[in-house]
Amino acid sequence: MAIPQTRNRSWVAKIIADFCDSPANTLGNATGEPAWGTPQVGYARGDDPLFESLKTDIGPFYWTPLEAFHLAYPDTGVTAAELSVICYILPQTEATRREQRSETAFPAERWARSRFHGEQFNCALRLHLAAELTQAGYPAVAPERLPDFAYRQSERFGIASNWSERHTAWIAGLGTFGLSDGLITRAGKAVRFGSVVVRMKLDATPRTYTGHQDWCLWYAKGTCGVCMQRCPVDAISATGHDKSKCFDYIRNVTAQYVQEHYGTGATPCGLCQVKIPCEARVPL
Ligand code: SF4
Ligand code: SF4
């Protein structure tokens, strides 16, 4: 017998919430603090036309949910309409945001830890969610965890991955883009994302916006621009986010800094995600 739709969504959300309540959610420091606060979850239809539009905009290497699903389950005759995309937000904690607010050039220790240990947790969560759904009879895959996940060169947008968690979250009703390219969600911009494609019908989360930048004060009202002042290398300007400048800074400067000072890996920065009106809320 089919499980009612509402049960399906709350069941999925509980898998995510329970994992976030586990000891795996950790900054890996002496205090044993969690890396992330309470998660939020959004859902999109696997055949939402925005996924195809994204592929057209970004480039042929970009995956639709169906293409990602077929990489994991090549022999199934599944259609896009039978798939749903589950997307979650992991908000930075108040302690991490507070510490990061006082920094002007390099990421704070908690922020660096959330980018390293917290992202390891996020990777585990993606796989855990996909495994739980699959075991329950709903084959699922976390596109970002597929072996072919990679960064490529998009003609229009420069460096781009073949699956974007932020764009997926936008389609799943979780937020809109800001001047700095980050997604402004109901939990603000100091968040990370994850997603899973599943062969299961789930009601899509309504998008309470029409444009893809509706919740940014710069685009909605011509005000703010505070994130520009937060970037130490002027990678954010009135024309948006300079990905190359940002990339150079995180690869060549902050990655080494956090390795030397905190013993963490990855390429954190995120100075533009705090001390701004959209840090932990929709600013409008
Ligand atoms: S800080 Fe202001 S301009 Fe920058 S993304 Fe947030 S709302 Fe938009
Ligand atoms: S993440 Fe990139 S855009 Fe944001 S403050 Fe750091 S260098 Fe600037």
Reported as a single tens digit per residue, the pLDDT across 59-110 is 999 999 999 999 999 988 999 999 999 999 999 999 999 999 999 999 999 9
Strand ranges across the sheet with 83-91 = 40-45, 83-91, 191-199, 140-141
Instruction: Report which secondary-structure segment, H or E, holds 113.
Output: helix 109-113
283 domain-assigned? no
Residue-by-residue DSSP string for 201-222: --PPPPP--SSTTTT-HHHHHS
At residue 4 the predicted structure's pLDDT band, cuts being 50, 70 and 90, is very low
Q: Say if residue 39's pLDDT is above 90.
A: yes
Ligand 2 geometric centre to CA of 97 (Å) = 15
282 domain-assigned? no
Reported as a single tens digit per residue, the pLDDT across 164-184 is 999 999 999 999 999 999 999
262 domain-assigned? yes
284 domain-assigned? no
Range of the domain at 267: 5-273
278 domain-assigned? no
Q: Whose CA is nearest to atom 5 of ligand 2?
A: 231
**Number of domains the chain contains:** 1
115 domain-assigned? yes
Ligand 2 geometric centre to CA of 197 (Å) = 30
Ligand 1 geometric centre to CA of 82 (Å) = 37
73 domain-assigned? yes
146 domain-assigned? yes
Q: Which residues line ligand 1 (CB under 6 A)?
A: 178-180, 216-218, 224-227, 276-278, 283
Q: Say if residue 157's pLDDT is above 90.
A: no
